[in-house]
């Protein structure tokens, strides 16, 4: 049935589009990792409320996210149809724009992959900070999720148990593994790709490089205040290192000096090259 879009309400247009999406279901087998295939993907898309996405997407415990990434990864949902459905249902607003920006980032990773091919699995640029990581087996406390840091261990256990880790937690862990532990980013990327249901070569390797500064002008790192803010302090309340020994319990300036041997300003200006010149 054709929908007269000029006179339909937003809700009617959204319902029509959802029906059109479901009508595209082919009945063909899809990878088990997509958790139910096309019908399950559409059901998840309909459940997603984008109206608070901008303020909750980074919150690791509240999780105001869509959980659509496994369906995107395995081709069950296309980025364009998700974009069209969200725009039709919720209209163009701040939260919608933020979510569509995230879809655009995923497309960007794919375009880089198309251009660089398997080069994305090696350093694309020189690191902007000193690093000591060389490829080797990951430490047992990482593989067994027994680092003693609740913010790391709970995320790792979820990864191993359910094939998922919240995006902000992925950033924390990628930074921890590279900057605090001195491990090679490629070993971390392989760990994620092995376990993640939404593991995508482009998004995975390039995000690890973004954290490590081989595909960014500076490294990503975080401190305890950031963990507390985006977990409502839940991890720190239960962490045995919260009262002493937390490696993240410092200012960003202090961490920049401890981890990279330079100031925050030097990191912002291009990291290692400028930092080395300033110390000559």
Residues 253 and 147 in one domain: yes
pLDDT band for 63, please (50, 70, 90 cuts). Answer: confident
Residues 108 and 200 in one domain: no
pTM for the structure as a whole: 0.85
Q: Does 248 fall in a domain?
A: yes
Backbone angles phi, psi at 210, to 5 degrees: -60, -45
What's the CATH code of the domain at 178? 1.10.579.10
Q: Does 222 fall in a domain?
A: yes
Q: Does 52 fall in a domain?
A: yes
Look at residues 34, 22, 42, 255 and name the one whose alpha carbon lies nearest to residue 163: 34
Residue 34 in this model has a pLDDT that exceeds 60 = no
* Structural domain count, the chain: 2
> Which H or E element spans position 277?
helix 272-278
Q: Does 63 fall in a domain?
A: yes
Q: What is the pLDDT of residues 105-118, one digit of tens each?
A: 999 999 999 999 99
Express as a percent the part of the chain with pLDDT over 70.
84
**Numbers of helices and strands, H then E, in the chain:** 16, 0
CA 45 to CA 18: how far, in whole Å? 9
> Mean pLDDT across the stretch 12-32?
43
Residue carrying structure tokens 């409320």: 49
Containing structural domain, residue 268: 140-278
């Amino acid at each position: 049935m054709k929908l007269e879009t000029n006179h339909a309400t937003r809700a009617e247009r959204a319902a029509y589009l959802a029906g059109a999406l479901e009508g595209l279901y082919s009945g063909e087998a899809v990878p088990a990792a997509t958790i139910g295939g096309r019908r399950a993907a559409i059901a998840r898309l309909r459940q997603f409320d984008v109206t608070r996405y901008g303020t909750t997407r980074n919150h690791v415990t509240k999780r105001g996210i869509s959980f659509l990434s496994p369906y995107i990864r395995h081709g069950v949902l296309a980025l364009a149809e998700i974009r069209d459905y969200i725009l039709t249902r919720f209209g163009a607003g701040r939260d919608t724009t933020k979510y569509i920006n995230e879809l655009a980032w995923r497309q960007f990773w794919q375009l880089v992959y198309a251009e660089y091919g398997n080069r994305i699995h090696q350093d694309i640029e020189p690191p902007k900070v000193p690093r000591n990581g060389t490829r080797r087996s990951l430490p047992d406390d990482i593989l067994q999720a027994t680092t003693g840091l609740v913010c790391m261990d709970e995320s790792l256990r979820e990864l191993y148990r359910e094939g998922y880790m919240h995006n902000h937690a992925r950033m924390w862990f990628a930074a921890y593994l590279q900057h605090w532990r001195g491990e090679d980013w490629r070993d971390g990327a392989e760990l994620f790709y092995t376990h993640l249901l939404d593991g995508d070569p482009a998004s995975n390797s390039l995000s690890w490089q973004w954290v490590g500064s081989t595909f960014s002008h500076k490294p990503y790192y975080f401190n305890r205040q950031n963990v507390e803010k985006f977990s409502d302090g839940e991890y720190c309340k239960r962490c045995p290192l919260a009262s002493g020994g937390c490696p993240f319990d410092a200012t960003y300036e202090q961490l920049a000096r401890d981890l990279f041997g330079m100031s925050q300003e030097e990191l912002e200006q291009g990291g290692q090259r400028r930092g080395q010149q300033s110390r000559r």
